Amino acid sequence: MNAPATPPLSPADLDAMAAKAGEAAALLRALGSEHRLMLLCRLSAGGETSVGELAESLGLSQPGVSQHLARLRAEGIVAARRSGTTILYRLADPRAAALLRLLRDLHCPH
């Protein structure tokens, strides 16, 4: 697959990218786990979901899912709310949602 040519970056674009490179790298590090990516894909497809539902749908342990969600929550990528005794998670970062859409378009058959 050939990627379309992108126009060269201007000096101003490079300066803007340099100012945001750390932020972009932090987001990519947070997404840099197969399990976290799958959790986010599941959240982007189904809205609010509990840890138990996520664990069951992905075949992961609840403690493992909780650890991944804690990392994503600390980075502001997911948000949580309590409903009775259940904590429901949702995708909260539009940058992560955009990256997930791009990854889906690149890697998932249609």
Domains located in the chain, CATH noted: 33-107 (1.10.10.10)
* Residue ranges in the chain modelled with pLDDT below 50: none
Per-residue buried b or exposed e for 51-66, using 16+ beta carbons within 10 Å of the residue's own CB: bebbbeebebeeeebb
* pLDDT at site 41: 92
* pLDDT at site 110: 65
* pLDDT at site 9: 83
Query: What values do phi and psi take at 85, rounded to 5?
Result: -100, 0
* pLDDT at site 6: 78
* pLDDT at site 54: 96
Give Cα separations from 11 to 16, 25, 60 (angstroms). 9, 20, 46
Angle of helix 62-74 versus helix 51-58 axis, rounded to 10: 120
Helix%, strand%, coil% for the chain, nearest 5 = 65, 15, 25
* pLDDT at site 1: 53
Model confidence, pTM: 0.81
